[in-house]
A and B are shown apart, each in its own frame.
Chain A
Amino acid sequence: MKLLQMPQPELRRQLAGAGIWMRTGPFSVRVQSRIPHVAHGLTELYGQFEIRSTHESFADFHVSVNAPNTPRRWLRPQAVFSFDGMHPFKPLPRDQAFPMLEWGLNWCVSTQAHQYLIIHAAVVEKNGRAAILPAPPGSGKSTLTAGLVLSGWRLLSDELTLIDRKTGLIHPLPRPVSLKNQSIDVIRQFAPDVYINRASLDTIKGTVAHMCPPRESVRRQHESARPGWVIFPKWDAGAPTRMTPRSQAQTFMFLAQNAFNYSHLGEDGFRVGAALIDQTLCYDFRYSKLDEAIVAFDQLANTPPA
């Protein structure tokens, strides 16, 4: 069944007990939490995702977000993320429990899923080809990703590009799109009907809110995509929209430095990364207007591969 089909009281009851089993891309997760923010966040943003009873299904990751077991919880409520009983992060204020779950799931994938070369980059797909969007924070990557997936591109991931080490294909991990600071209002104005949850203030990343992943992207979360482009977006106030080719070797170096497990994979990481660059066109992309950026990406997607 889909998560949205479960009544909220039942979801809370199961979450607080053994937890719920949920499928996200190639991974299954068992989530357990007694914090209402988490149940609420899941209902709002994971409604289209498949869930099952935890008694019936194997889970790759067993995670929980709960109040830490310290006296501090009575003074200033906090939440702590747990993975297989470990606490990889310090507790955060309780109202950041849902973003903490999101960050924790990203951490699980990026530290455990070594069957993929995992690059810190958003990735979207159209006409069978994927555009990988690596960029440092503040570059407008999340805004562009959200704009593209609200305009006909398929969301593969807003944060983790999973490259299959055997096939070179990109596996989707469509989860809520993390929007930060000004990009929250930009996307609200761009698509007034899209669901963006309540913003969490004063997080380590500033103000953070999550946009619901498009239903079609979730439905197709098991369809891999062929790499088409590696595009470095940069939002630049007043700049004309411009796509310029960039060095493949330098792009390789950037991806290697921004992969979570390139060093861990050793020689295979090099070979998978080199194969990726062989298959893709590499660009720098400057933009200031989201609608023009989407037109530029659409033109790229409509150009037959060389």
Chain B
Amino acid sequence: MADVSALSPRLLKCWGSEAVVYDKASGDTHYLKPLTLALYQICREHPGYALTELTTSLATRIGVADTPELQDLTEDTLDQLRAINLLEHA
């Protein structure tokens, strides 16, 4: 059986820089592209980070410049992670 991380009520399975998430409550399955997974992991490791800190960490982790555009993208991605209940609403 697969080595799947349990994040009750969700299951997360990573392959390289991508992942899939199964939500036990809704039965939905979501695909996390590399940027989304990286941001999700940063949020888990640093639950108190503000948007600017998240953006800086994300830039470092995926090897891109820390720009205003990346901050917008980070904010949008956080919204998506909240929409699928992987992150709690602020």
A-side interface residues toward B, CB under 8 Å? 168, 247-250, 252-253, 256, 262-263, 266-267, 270-272, 274-275, 277-278
B19 on the A face (CB < 8 A): yes
A256 contacts across to B, CB distance below 8 A = 20, 29
Is the CB–CB distance between B1 and A249 below 8 Å?
no
Q: Which residue of B lies closest to A279 (CB)?
A: B2
B11 within 8 A of A: yes
B2 touches A267 (CB 8 A): no
Question: CB within 8 Å of A: which of B1-35?
Answer: 1-4, 11, 13-16, 18-20, 22, 24, 27, 29, 31-32
- List the interface of chain B (C-beta within 8 A of A): 1-4, 11, 13-16, 18-20, 22, 24, 27, 29, 31-32
Pairwise interchain contact A270-B19, C-beta atoms closer than 8 A: no
Contact of A278 among B2, B16, B24, B27 (CB under 8 A): B2
Distance between A255 CB and nearest chain B CB, rounded to angstroms = 10
B14 / chain A contacts, CB cutoff of 8 Å? 249
Chain A residues with Cβ under 8 A from B24's Cβ?
Answer: 266-267
In the assembled complex, how far is the CB of residue B80 from the closest CB belonging to chain A, in whole angstroms? 16
Residues of chain A lying within 8 A (CB to CB) of residue B4:
270-271, 274
Docked pose: A157 CA to B73 CA in angstroms: 44
5 A-B pairs with the lowest CB-CB distances in the bound complex, closest first: A274-B2, A249-B18, A248-B15, A270-B22, A275-B2
A248-B18, A270-B11 given as contacts; is B29 within 8 A of A278 (CB)? no
Question: Nearest-CB distance from A263 to chain B (Å)?
Answer: 6
Contacts of A248 in B (CB 8 A): 15-16, 18
Distance (whole angstroms) from the CB of A216 to the closest CB of chain B: 32
Q: Which of chain B's residues have a CB closer than 8 A to the CB of A267? A: 11, 22, 24
Find B29's partner among A168, A250, A270, A272 (CB 8 Å cutoff).
Answer: A270
Contact B29 A249 (CB under 8 A): no
Q: How far is the CA of A278 from the CA of B1 in the complex (A)?
A: 9
Contact B3–A278 (Cβ < 8 Å): yes
Which of the residues B16, B20, B27, B32 comes within 8 Å of A274, measured between beta carbons?
A: B20
B18 near A250 (CB under 8 angstroms)?
Answer: yes
Instruction: Tell me the minimal C-beta distance from B32 to chain A in angstroms.
Output: 7
A163, chain B: closest CB distance, angstroms: 12
Closest chain B residue to A263, Cβ basis: B27
Cα separation A248 to B1 with both chains bound (whole Å): 16
